[in-house]
């Protein structure tokens, strides 16, 4: 296309209008949809009295409750077993961590003793004032 020529535009499709007789929902201040005026919600379904149930329905209801009770027991047992297993894993990890820390403390103590045995600052002339070594455990405790 050359200069000064306009590009053709397609006409916009018409916006659909709601069918006549159908109103758009209204919303309350809380943002919930409000039912149209004159509309009442149907009452919730009421349970059927046991006297109106047939023996088959009654048996089915009893079997369903028993099945649900067994499933709930199974679920609770499974949940308890899972919690017990997690507690055991936690205990084992704690024991393992304590063991590793004990080994590390032993190794570092031996390294410190070896260093103190050969350290020139500790073996040299005592013309300096040695600084007291802070207790490493006391530094970790809250004041």
For 79-135, what is each residue's pLDDT tens digit?
Answer: 999 999 999 999 999 999 999 999 999 999 999 999 988 887 777 655 555 556 666
Say what the pLDDT of residue 16 is.
61
- Counted domains in the chain: 1
Question: Residue 141: which pLDDT band, with cuts at 50, 70 and 90?
Answer: low
Share of the chain above pLDDT 70, in %: 57
Whether 23 is covered by a domain: the verdict is: no
Owner of token pair 């919600």: 41
Say what the pLDDT of residue 37 is.
72
Q: What is the mean pLDDT of residues 1-29?
A: 61
Whether 93 is covered by a domain: the verdict is: yes
Q: Is the pLDDT of residue 52 over 90?
A: no
- CA angle 99–100–102, rounded 5-degree value: 65
Whether 143 is covered by a domain: the verdict is: no
Whether 9 is covered by a domain: the verdict is: no
Owner of token pair 């535009």: 9
CB 3 within 8 A of CB 10: no
pTM (predicted TM-score): 0.41
Say what the pLDDT of residue 29 is.
67
**Nearest-angstrom CA–CA distance, 48 and 54:** 11
Whether 10 is covered by a domain: the verdict is: no
Question: Residue 39: which pLDDT band, with cuts at 50, 70 and 90?
Answer: confident
Measure Cα distances from 142 to 31, 114, 139 in Å: 53, 31, 8
Structural domain including 111 reads: 54-121
Say what the pLDDT of residue 13 is.
63
User: E-strand spans in the chain?
Assistant: 26-27, 33-34
């Amino acid at each position: 296309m050359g200069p000064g020529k306009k590009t053709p535009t397609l006409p916009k499709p018409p916006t659909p209008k709601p069918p006549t007789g159908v109103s758009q929902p209204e919303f309350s201040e809380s943002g919930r949809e409000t039912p149209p005026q004159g509309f009442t919600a149907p009452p919730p379904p009421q349970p059927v009295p046991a006297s109106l149930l047939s023996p088959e329905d009654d048996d089915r209801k009893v079997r369903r409750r028993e099945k649900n009770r067994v499933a709930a027991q199974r679920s609770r047992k499974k949940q308890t077993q899972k919690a017990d297993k997690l507690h055991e894993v936690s205990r084992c990890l704690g024991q393992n961590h304590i063991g590793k820390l004990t080994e590390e403390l032993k190794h570092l103590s031996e390294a410190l003793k070896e260093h103190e045995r050969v350290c020139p600052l500790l073996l040299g002339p005592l013309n300096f004032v040695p600084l007291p070594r802070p207790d490493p455990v006391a530094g970790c405790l809250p004041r």
